[in-house]
Structure 1
Amino acid sequence: MKRAQGQRPGPQDGLIRAGLLSARSGSQATASRLTSRGTLVRVERGLYQGADAEISIHNSLAVVSAKAPKAVITLLSALHFHKLGLERPWQEWIALPRGSWAPRLTSLRLRVSWLDEAELAQDVEHHTIDGVAVKVFSPARAVVETFHFFRQVGLEPALDALKDYLRCTPNGVQPLMAIARRRRAYNKMRPYVEALL
Protein backbone atom coordinates (compact mmCIF):
# COMPACT_ATOMS: atom_id res chain seq x y z
CA MET A 1 0.00 0.00 0.00
CA LYS A 2 1.42 3.39 -1.02
CA ARG A 3 1.11 6.41 1.24
CA ALA A 4 0.40 9.90 -0.02
CA GLN A 5 3.39 12.20 0.20
CA GLY A 6 3.70 13.74 3.66
CA GLN A 7 1.32 11.22 5.24
CA ARG A 8 2.76 9.45 8.28
CA PRO A 9 2.66 5.69 8.63
CA GLY A 10 -0.29 4.16 10.41
CA PRO A 11 -1.13 0.83 12.02
CA GLN A 12 -1.84 -0.82 8.65
CA ASP A 13 1.73 -0.19 7.45
CA GLY A 14 3.50 -2.94 9.39
CA LEU A 15 5.87 -2.16 12.25
CA ILE A 16 5.69 1.29 13.81
CA ARG A 17 7.50 2.87 16.77
CA ALA A 18 5.56 4.25 19.72
CA GLY A 19 7.41 7.56 19.41
CA LEU A 20 6.10 8.03 15.88
CA LEU A 21 2.54 7.37 17.05
CA SER A 22 2.98 9.88 19.88
CA ALA A 23 4.39 12.52 17.51
CA ARG A 24 1.53 11.96 15.11
CA SER A 25 -1.24 12.31 17.67
CA GLY A 26 0.43 14.59 20.20
CA SER A 27 -0.35 12.15 23.02
CA GLN A 28 1.90 9.57 24.63
CA ALA A 29 -1.08 7.37 25.48
CA THR A 30 -1.90 6.73 21.81
CA ALA A 31 -0.13 3.35 21.59
CA SER A 32 -1.76 1.96 24.73
CA ARG A 33 -5.18 3.29 23.68
CA LEU A 34 -4.91 1.70 20.21
CA THR A 35 -3.65 -1.54 21.76
CA SER A 36 -6.59 -1.74 24.16
CA ARG A 37 -8.98 -1.14 21.24
CA GLY A 38 -7.39 -4.00 19.32
CA THR A 39 -6.12 -1.79 16.49
CA LEU A 40 -2.46 -2.35 17.39
CA VAL A 41 -0.52 -5.32 18.72
CA ARG A 42 2.56 -4.77 20.89
CA VAL A 43 5.48 -6.66 19.32
CA GLU A 44 8.28 -5.41 21.57
CA ARG A 45 8.74 -2.54 23.98
CA GLY A 46 8.13 0.63 21.97
CA LEU A 47 7.32 -1.32 18.79
CA TYR A 48 3.81 -2.01 17.52
CA GLN A 49 2.14 -3.58 14.54
CA GLY A 50 -1.31 -3.14 13.06
CA ALA A 51 -3.66 -5.93 14.13
CA ASP A 52 -4.74 -6.41 10.51
CA ALA A 53 -1.30 -5.82 8.94
CA GLU A 54 0.02 -8.40 6.50
CA ILE A 55 3.07 -9.98 8.10
CA SER A 56 5.90 -11.35 5.98
CA ILE A 57 7.64 -14.63 6.76
CA HIS A 58 10.73 -12.59 7.64
CA ASN A 59 8.93 -10.42 10.20
CA SER A 60 11.46 -11.33 12.90
CA LEU A 61 14.22 -9.72 10.81
CA ALA A 62 12.16 -6.53 10.62
CA VAL A 63 11.67 -6.56 14.41
CA VAL A 64 15.41 -6.96 15.01
CA SER A 65 16.26 -4.20 12.51
CA ALA A 66 13.68 -1.84 14.01
CA LYS A 67 15.22 -2.30 17.46
CA ALA A 68 18.85 -2.27 16.21
CA PRO A 69 19.15 -0.14 13.04
CA LYS A 70 22.92 -0.74 12.82
CA ALA A 71 22.46 -4.52 12.76
CA VAL A 72 23.22 -6.58 9.66
CA ILE A 73 21.51 -9.96 9.35
CA THR A 74 24.21 -12.64 9.13
CA LEU A 75 25.04 -16.35 9.37
CA LEU A 76 22.07 -18.75 9.53
CA SER A 77 19.48 -15.95 9.41
CA ALA A 78 21.03 -14.53 6.21
CA LEU A 79 21.26 -18.01 4.69
CA HIS A 80 17.59 -18.62 5.45
CA PHE A 81 16.66 -15.23 3.97
CA HIS A 82 18.53 -16.10 0.74
CA LYS A 83 17.12 -19.68 0.74
CA LEU A 84 20.55 -21.26 1.06
CA GLY A 85 20.97 -24.43 3.08
CA LEU A 86 18.36 -26.46 4.87
CA GLU A 87 18.44 -25.04 8.36
CA ARG A 88 15.78 -22.73 9.76
CA PRO A 89 17.42 -20.84 12.63
CA TRP A 90 15.70 -20.94 16.02
CA GLN A 91 17.37 -17.62 16.87
CA GLU A 92 18.23 -14.58 14.78
CA TRP A 93 21.90 -14.01 13.99
CA ILE A 94 23.02 -10.39 13.64
CA ALA A 95 26.31 -8.56 13.27
CA LEU A 96 26.84 -5.28 15.10
CA PRO A 97 29.70 -2.76 15.20
CA ARG A 98 32.22 -3.36 17.97
CA GLY A 99 31.40 -1.29 21.04
CA SER A 100 27.67 -0.97 20.32
CA TRP A 101 24.89 -2.39 22.47
CA ALA A 102 22.88 -5.44 21.51
CA PRO A 103 19.12 -4.97 21.78
CA ARG A 104 17.17 -6.84 24.44
CA LEU A 105 14.18 -8.54 22.92
CA THR A 106 11.46 -10.50 24.67
CA SER A 107 9.93 -12.19 21.63
CA LEU A 108 13.15 -13.32 19.89
CA ARG A 109 16.46 -14.90 20.77
CA LEU A 110 19.55 -13.22 19.33
CA ARG A 111 23.10 -14.31 18.59
CA VAL A 112 25.46 -11.41 17.98
CA SER A 113 28.82 -11.30 16.24
CA TRP A 114 30.84 -8.11 16.65
CA LEU A 115 32.64 -6.72 13.59
CA ASP A 116 34.60 -3.60 12.67
CA GLU A 117 32.41 -0.96 11.05
CA ALA A 118 34.40 -1.12 7.79
CA GLU A 119 33.87 -4.88 7.54
CA LEU A 120 30.23 -4.53 8.53
CA ALA A 121 29.56 -2.13 5.65
CA GLN A 122 30.81 -4.47 2.91
CA ASP A 123 28.67 -6.94 0.94
CA VAL A 124 25.39 -5.64 2.40
CA GLU A 125 22.05 -5.78 0.62
CA HIS A 126 19.24 -3.40 1.62
CA HIS A 127 15.68 -4.72 1.80
CA THR A 128 12.37 -3.45 3.17
CA ILE A 129 10.41 -5.93 5.27
CA ASP A 130 7.11 -4.92 6.88
CA GLY A 131 7.97 -1.25 6.37
CA VAL A 132 11.38 -1.52 8.07
CA ALA A 133 14.77 -1.08 6.37
CA VAL A 134 16.67 -4.34 6.84
CA LYS A 135 20.36 -4.90 6.05
CA VAL A 136 21.34 -8.45 5.09
CA PHE A 137 24.72 -9.80 4.04
CA SER A 138 24.82 -10.90 0.38
CA PRO A 139 24.52 -14.64 -0.37
CA ALA A 140 28.29 -14.98 -0.97
CA ARG A 141 29.14 -13.11 2.22
CA ALA A 142 26.63 -15.17 4.24
CA VAL A 143 28.27 -18.40 3.05
CA VAL A 144 31.75 -17.08 3.87
CA GLU A 145 30.61 -15.97 7.33
CA THR A 146 29.38 -19.49 8.11
CA PHE A 147 32.88 -20.83 7.39
CA HIS A 148 34.49 -17.96 9.30
CA PHE A 149 32.32 -18.73 12.35
CA PHE A 150 31.95 -22.49 11.75
CA ARG A 151 32.64 -23.29 15.42
CA GLN A 152 29.47 -21.42 16.42
CA VAL A 153 27.36 -22.53 13.45
CA GLY A 154 28.66 -26.01 12.68
CA LEU A 155 30.22 -27.42 9.53
CA GLU A 156 27.09 -29.12 8.18
CA PRO A 157 25.04 -25.90 7.70
CA ALA A 158 28.09 -24.25 6.11
CA LEU A 159 28.49 -27.12 3.62
CA ASP A 160 24.76 -27.18 2.78
CA ALA A 161 24.83 -23.43 2.13
CA LEU A 162 27.98 -23.73 0.00
CA LYS A 163 26.41 -26.50 -2.12
CA ASP A 164 23.25 -24.45 -2.67
CA TYR A 165 25.24 -21.30 -3.46
CA LEU A 166 27.41 -23.09 -6.06
CA ARG A 167 24.33 -24.74 -7.61
CA CYS A 168 22.36 -21.45 -7.81
CA THR A 169 25.30 -19.20 -8.74
CA PRO A 170 27.51 -21.04 -11.25
CA ASN A 171 29.69 -17.96 -11.90
CA GLY A 172 29.88 -16.98 -8.26
CA VAL A 173 33.08 -18.79 -7.27
CA GLN A 174 35.44 -15.84 -7.85
CA PRO A 175 33.42 -13.30 -5.80
CA LEU A 176 32.92 -15.95 -3.10
CA MET A 177 36.63 -16.68 -2.81
CA ALA A 178 37.53 -12.96 -2.92
CA ILE A 179 35.30 -12.40 0.11
CA ALA A 180 36.75 -15.54 1.74
CA ARG A 181 40.27 -14.18 1.28
CA ARG A 182 39.30 -10.83 2.81
CA ARG A 183 37.51 -12.52 5.74
CA ARG A 184 40.40 -14.98 6.30
CA ALA A 185 38.26 -18.02 5.55
CA TYR A 186 39.96 -18.91 2.25
CA ASN A 187 42.01 -21.83 3.57
CA LYS A 188 38.98 -23.29 5.36
CA MET A 189 36.77 -23.03 2.28
CA ARG A 190 39.12 -23.94 -0.57
CA PRO A 191 39.12 -27.76 -0.14
CA TYR A 192 35.31 -27.85 0.03
CA VAL A 193 34.88 -25.56 -2.98
CA GLU A 194 37.35 -27.63 -5.02
CA ALA A 195 35.58 -30.86 -4.05
CA LEU A 196 32.17 -29.48 -5.05
CA LEU A 197 33.21 -28.05 -8.43
Structure 2
Amino acid sequence: MMLPLRVMLIADDPLVRTGLAALLSDGSDCMVVGQMASDANVVAEAEVYRPDIVLWDMGWEPVDVARLECLADLRDHGIHSVVLLPDAGTGTEAWQVGARGLLLRQVEVDRLVSALRAVEQGLVVWDEAVAMPMVTATADALPGADILTPREHEVLTLLAEGLPNKIVADRLHISEHTVKFHVNAIMGKLGAQSRTEAVVLATRRGLILL
Protein backbone atom coordinates (compact mmCIF):
# COMPACT_ATOMS: atom_id res chain seq x y z
CA MET A 1 0.00 0.00 0.00
CA MET A 2 1.37 3.41 -0.96
CA LEU A 3 2.08 5.68 1.97
CA PRO A 4 0.37 9.10 2.01
CA LEU A 5 2.40 11.87 0.41
CA ARG A 6 3.44 14.35 3.10
CA VAL A 7 2.78 17.85 1.74
CA MET A 8 3.74 21.20 3.26
CA LEU A 9 1.61 24.10 2.00
CA ILE A 10 2.86 27.65 1.53
CA ALA A 11 0.43 30.43 0.57
CA ASP A 12 0.04 33.98 1.78
CA ASP A 13 -3.77 33.88 1.65
CA PRO A 14 -5.09 31.83 4.60
CA LEU A 15 -8.23 30.98 2.63
CA VAL A 16 -6.08 29.51 -0.14
CA ARG A 17 -4.15 27.44 2.42
CA THR A 18 -7.41 26.15 3.89
CA GLY A 19 -8.85 25.40 0.46
CA LEU A 20 -5.77 23.54 -0.77
CA ALA A 21 -5.56 21.56 2.44
CA ALA A 22 -9.20 20.52 2.08
CA LEU A 23 -8.76 19.54 -1.58
CA LEU A 24 -5.64 17.48 -0.92
CA SER A 25 -7.12 15.76 2.14
CA ASP A 26 -10.43 14.89 0.48
CA GLY A 27 -10.03 11.48 -1.08
CA SER A 28 -6.44 11.88 -2.32
CA ASP A 29 -3.37 10.05 -1.05
CA CYS A 30 -1.90 13.27 0.34
CA MET A 31 -1.49 14.29 3.96
CA VAL A 32 -0.98 18.00 4.68
CA VAL A 33 1.60 18.15 7.46
CA GLY A 34 2.09 21.91 7.70
CA GLN A 35 0.73 25.24 6.45
CA MET A 36 2.37 28.67 6.48
CA ALA A 37 2.72 32.02 4.73
CA SER A 38 5.73 32.80 2.56
CA ASP A 39 7.29 35.11 5.15
CA ALA A 40 7.95 32.13 7.43
CA ASN A 41 11.36 30.49 7.61
CA VAL A 42 10.28 27.81 5.18
CA VAL A 43 13.45 25.73 5.41
CA ALA A 44 13.27 25.63 9.21
CA GLU A 45 9.58 24.71 9.00
CA ALA A 46 10.40 21.96 6.51
CA GLU A 47 12.95 20.54 8.94
CA VAL A 48 10.20 20.40 11.57
CA TYR A 49 7.43 18.95 9.39
CA ARG A 50 9.69 16.79 7.17
CA PRO A 51 7.44 16.88 4.08
CA ASP A 52 7.96 14.73 1.03
CA ILE A 53 7.19 17.79 -1.08
CA VAL A 54 6.30 21.47 -0.80
CA LEU A 55 3.31 22.97 -2.62
CA TRP A 56 3.70 26.75 -2.96
CA ASP A 57 0.87 28.96 -4.18
CA MET A 58 2.37 32.17 -5.58
CA GLY A 59 -0.90 34.10 -5.58
CA TRP A 60 -1.82 36.58 -8.30
CA GLU A 61 1.09 38.98 -7.82
CA PRO A 62 4.43 38.75 -9.70
CA VAL A 63 6.89 36.33 -8.10
CA ASP A 64 9.26 38.43 -5.99
CA VAL A 65 12.92 37.94 -5.11
CA ALA A 66 12.26 36.87 -1.52
CA ARG A 67 10.12 33.93 -2.60
CA LEU A 68 12.60 32.97 -5.31
CA GLU A 69 15.35 32.91 -2.68
CA CYS A 70 13.22 30.60 -0.53
CA LEU A 71 12.71 28.25 -3.47
CA ALA A 72 16.47 28.16 -3.97
CA ASP A 73 16.97 27.39 -0.28
CA LEU A 74 14.51 24.50 -0.48
CA ARG A 75 16.37 23.06 -3.45
CA ASP A 76 19.70 23.40 -1.65
CA HIS A 77 18.26 21.39 1.24
CA GLY A 78 17.06 18.64 -1.09
CA ILE A 79 13.37 19.52 -0.78
CA HIS A 80 11.33 19.27 -3.98
CA SER A 81 8.71 21.92 -4.68
CA VAL A 82 5.69 22.36 -6.91
CA VAL A 83 4.66 25.95 -7.62
CA LEU A 84 1.20 27.24 -8.53
CA LEU A 85 1.64 30.20 -10.88
CA PRO A 86 -0.71 33.11 -11.68
CA ASP A 87 -0.16 32.89 -15.44
CA ALA A 88 1.78 31.04 -18.12
CA GLY A 89 4.55 33.62 -18.42
CA THR A 90 5.83 33.52 -14.83
CA GLY A 91 7.45 30.10 -14.60
CA THR A 92 10.99 30.72 -15.86
CA GLU A 93 12.44 32.32 -12.73
CA ALA A 94 10.84 29.75 -10.42
CA TRP A 95 12.31 26.97 -12.55
CA GLN A 96 15.76 28.54 -12.58
CA VAL A 97 15.97 28.60 -8.79
CA GLY A 98 14.74 25.10 -8.15
CA ALA A 99 10.99 24.50 -8.56
CA ARG A 100 10.45 21.18 -10.32
CA GLY A 101 6.69 21.40 -10.78
CA LEU A 102 5.14 24.39 -12.53
CA LEU A 103 1.35 24.49 -12.72
CA LEU A 104 -1.27 27.17 -13.17
CA ARG A 105 -3.33 28.04 -10.10
CA GLN A 106 -6.55 26.76 -11.69
CA VAL A 107 -5.18 23.21 -12.05
CA GLU A 108 -7.63 20.42 -11.31
CA VAL A 109 -7.01 18.54 -8.09
CA ASP A 110 -6.40 15.17 -9.78
CA ARG A 111 -3.68 16.67 -11.96
CA LEU A 112 -2.23 18.47 -8.98
CA VAL A 113 -1.95 15.28 -6.93
CA SER A 114 -0.40 13.44 -9.89
CA ALA A 115 2.13 16.24 -10.32
CA LEU A 116 3.04 16.19 -6.62
CA ARG A 117 3.64 12.46 -6.79
CA ALA A 118 5.69 12.72 -9.98
CA VAL A 119 7.94 15.49 -8.66
CA GLU A 120 8.42 13.66 -5.35
CA GLN A 121 9.70 10.72 -7.39
CA GLY A 122 12.25 12.90 -9.17
CA LEU A 123 10.38 13.88 -12.33
CA VAL A 124 9.82 17.37 -13.73
CA VAL A 125 6.24 18.50 -14.38
CA TRP A 126 5.32 21.57 -16.41
CA ASP A 127 1.82 22.63 -17.35
CA GLU A 128 1.66 22.74 -21.14
CA ALA A 129 0.71 26.42 -21.08
CA VAL A 130 3.73 27.19 -18.88
CA ALA A 131 6.18 25.08 -20.87
CA MET A 132 5.97 26.93 -24.19
CA PRO A 133 6.97 30.41 -22.93
CA MET A 134 9.82 28.82 -20.96
CA VAL A 135 11.17 26.90 -23.93
CA THR A 136 10.94 30.01 -26.10
CA ALA A 137 12.69 32.17 -23.50
CA THR A 138 15.47 29.63 -23.05
CA ALA A 139 16.00 29.25 -26.79
CA ASP A 140 16.14 33.01 -27.24
CA ALA A 141 18.61 33.42 -24.40
CA LEU A 142 21.18 30.73 -25.13
CA PRO A 143 23.30 32.37 -27.85
CA GLY A 144 24.19 35.63 -26.10
CA ALA A 145 25.62 37.01 -22.90
CA ASP A 146 22.36 38.75 -22.09
CA ILE A 147 21.06 35.56 -20.44
CA LEU A 148 22.79 36.83 -17.30
CA THR A 149 22.03 40.03 -15.47
CA PRO A 150 24.96 42.39 -14.79
CA ARG A 151 25.03 41.27 -11.13
CA GLU A 152 24.97 37.60 -12.11
CA HIS A 153 27.87 38.24 -14.46
CA GLU A 154 29.84 39.82 -11.59
CA VAL A 155 29.11 36.85 -9.36
CA LEU A 156 30.05 34.38 -12.10
CA THR A 157 33.35 36.16 -12.74
CA LEU A 158 34.27 35.83 -9.06
CA LEU A 159 33.18 32.19 -9.02
CA ALA A 160 35.57 31.61 -11.89
CA GLU A 161 38.35 32.78 -9.56
CA GLY A 162 37.42 29.98 -7.19
CA LEU A 163 36.15 32.31 -4.48
CA PRO A 164 33.66 31.06 -1.85
CA ASN A 165 30.32 32.78 -1.31
CA LYS A 166 31.55 34.74 1.71
CA ILE A 167 34.38 36.37 -0.25
CA VAL A 168 32.10 37.03 -3.22
CA ALA A 169 29.65 38.72 -0.85
CA ASP A 170 32.42 40.86 0.64
CA ARG A 171 33.70 41.88 -2.78
CA LEU A 172 30.26 42.89 -4.04
CA HIS A 173 29.01 44.31 -0.72
CA ILE A 174 25.98 42.02 -0.64
CA SER A 175 24.87 39.26 1.72
CA GLU A 176 25.94 35.63 1.42
CA HIS A 177 22.26 34.75 1.07
CA THR A 178 21.99 37.02 -1.98
CA VAL A 179 25.14 35.48 -3.47
CA LYS A 180 23.61 32.05 -3.00
CA PHE A 181 20.47 33.21 -4.79
CA HIS A 182 22.51 34.54 -7.73
CA VAL A 183 24.55 31.33 -7.93
CA ASN A 184 21.36 29.28 -8.14
CA ALA A 185 19.99 31.57 -10.83
CA ILE A 186 23.23 31.30 -12.83
CA MET A 187 23.21 27.51 -12.62
CA GLY A 188 19.59 27.41 -13.70
CA LYS A 189 20.11 29.70 -16.67
CA LEU A 190 23.19 27.80 -17.87
CA GLY A 191 21.73 24.36 -17.20
CA ALA A 192 24.57 23.53 -14.82
CA GLN A 193 24.46 21.14 -11.89
CA SER A 194 27.36 22.70 -9.99
CA ARG A 195 29.31 25.94 -9.68
CA THR A 196 32.24 24.42 -11.54
CA GLU A 197 30.06 23.29 -14.42
CA ALA A 198 28.51 26.77 -14.58
CA VAL A 199 31.96 28.31 -15.00
CA VAL A 200 32.91 25.77 -17.67
CA LEU A 201 29.69 26.31 -19.64
CA ALA A 202 29.96 30.09 -19.36
CA THR A 203 33.52 29.97 -20.63
CA ARG A 204 32.53 27.83 -23.62
CA ARG A 205 29.80 30.33 -24.52
CA GLY A 206 32.13 33.26 -24.20
CA LEU A 207 30.29 34.78 -21.25
CA ILE A 208 33.49 35.03 -19.21
CA LEU A 209 37.19 34.80 -19.96
CA LEU A 210 39.56 32.78 -17.79
TM-score by length of 2: 0.29
TM-score, normalised to structure 1's length? 0.30
Greater share of strand: 1
Q: Which has the higher contact order (CA 8 A, sep 6+)?
A: 1
